[in-house]
């Protein structure tokens, strides 16, 4: 089996209303020191993982370069419904490529002790961000990434705009050759989160809800307000 880069991701997603949109109104999220995980754990030089499928015996897994574990913050995890599906999971790339896209990230293997971390261009709304490098991950040196969007709704859709606050902890755990599948019905793992050791990268922006509050209509992108005065016609353009 080809040795694999093991990446641990912890994720929190908050869905906020317009009242919570400003920096001063954002909920203060605290990460616990540890969580009970149903995904994987690194122990005694091997990766023990929980999965209903034993993919560790497949050829695609044997040839893959990356093994990624995702655990959600237990207090912000949204139960499965028609809109969201916050499932803890383990995943791997199905190819021999040295780059792997997962969630909003892309990982690139540089060496045995360095992995480049990129934003992969997956946008959940506005603002639209292009792909870019976020950081270089070193062994057991976690990075905390905060990023936000607002939903890309027009006022004609009759929907209230939502604001998404995402908080990630991403850690390069090392390169491993041994992967052992555990019984998904009986096993959980205690994981300790190194929140105090995280380098923090804050990519959030101030996202305004309204350009102009006219009868609570949500004007999108450009609002043109025509004001008739005598003897002139004044046109005022608001942009955001």
Rounded Cα–Cα distance for residues 31 and 193 (Å): 8
pLDDT, tens digit (0-9, with 9 covering 90-100), for 141-161: 999 999 999 987 654 466 778
pLDDT at residue 79 in the model: 67
Q: What is the mean pLDDT of residues 40-61?
A: 85
Domain map (residue ranges) of the chain: 4-209, 210-240
Q: Please choose, from the candidates 216, 214, 215, the residue with its C-alpha nearest in 3D space to the C-alpha of residue 238.
A: 214
Measured CA to CA, the distance from residue 49 to residue 184 in angstroms comes to: 9
Bigger pLDDT: 126 vs 94: 126
Rounded average pLDDT over 8-18: 89
Q: For residue 43, what pLDDT band results from cuts at 50, 70 and 90?
A: confident
> What string of DSSP letters covers 64-95?
-SEEEEEEE-TTTPPPS-SS-----EEEE-SS
Tokens 């606050």 correspond to: 165
**Mean pLDDT, range 162-178, rounded to an integer:** 94
| R_g of the chain computed on alpha carbons | 22
Cβ(70)–Cβ(93) below 8 Å: no
Q: Where are the alpha helices (DSSP H) in 118-182?
A: none
Span 181-189, average pLDDT: 78
Residue 183 CB burial class (10 angstroms; 0-12, 13-18, ≥19): exposed
Instruction: Find out whether 140 and 8 touch, Cβ atoms under 8 Å.
Output: no
Helices and strands in the chain: count of H runs, count of E runs: 1, 17
pLDDT score of 229 more than 80? no
Q: How confident is the model at residue 80 (pLDDT cuts 50, 70, 90)?
A: low
Give the 3-state secondary structure of residue 228: strand
Asked if residues 27 and 146 have their Cβ atoms less than 8 Å apart, the reply is: no
Task: Choose the most confident range, by mean pLDDT, from 79-93, 116-130, 208-222.
Answer: 116-130
239 SS3 class: strand
As a whole-number percent, the residues of the chain with pLDDT over 90 amount to 48
Helix (H) or strand (E) holding 218: none
The confidence score (pLDDT) of residue 83 equals 57
The whole-angstrom separation of Cα 39 and Cα 191 is: 10
């Amino acid at each position: 089996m080809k040795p694999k880069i093991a990446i641990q991701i912890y994720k929190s997603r908050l869905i906020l209303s317009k009242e919570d949109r400003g920096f001063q109104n954002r909920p203060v999220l605290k990460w616990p020191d540890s969580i009970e995980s149903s995904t994987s754990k690194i122990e005694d030089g091997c990766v023990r993982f929980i999965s209903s499928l034993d993919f560790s015996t497949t050829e695609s897994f044997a040839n893959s370069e990356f093994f990624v574990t995702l655990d959600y913050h237990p207090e912000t995890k949204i139960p499965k419904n028609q809109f969201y599906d916050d499932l803890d999971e383990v995943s791997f790339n199905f190819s021999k490529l040295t780059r792997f896209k997962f969630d909003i990230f892309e990982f690139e293997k540089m060496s045995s002790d360095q992995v480049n971390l990129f934003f992969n261009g997956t946008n959940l709304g506005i603002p639209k961000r292009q792909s870019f490098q976020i950081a270089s991950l070193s062994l057991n040196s976690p990075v905390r990434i905060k990023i936000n969007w607002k939903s890309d709704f027009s006022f004609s859709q009759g929907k209230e705009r939502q604001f998404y606050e995402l908080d990630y902890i991403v850690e390069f755990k090392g390169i491993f050759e041994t992967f052992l599948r555990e019984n998904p019905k009986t096993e959980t793992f205690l994981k300790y989160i190194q929140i105090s050791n995280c380098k923090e990268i804050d990519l959030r922006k101030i996202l305004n809800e309204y350009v102009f509050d006219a009868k609570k209509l949500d004007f999108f992108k450009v609002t043109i307000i025509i004001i008739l005065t005598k003897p002139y016609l004044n046109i005022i353009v608001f942009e955001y």
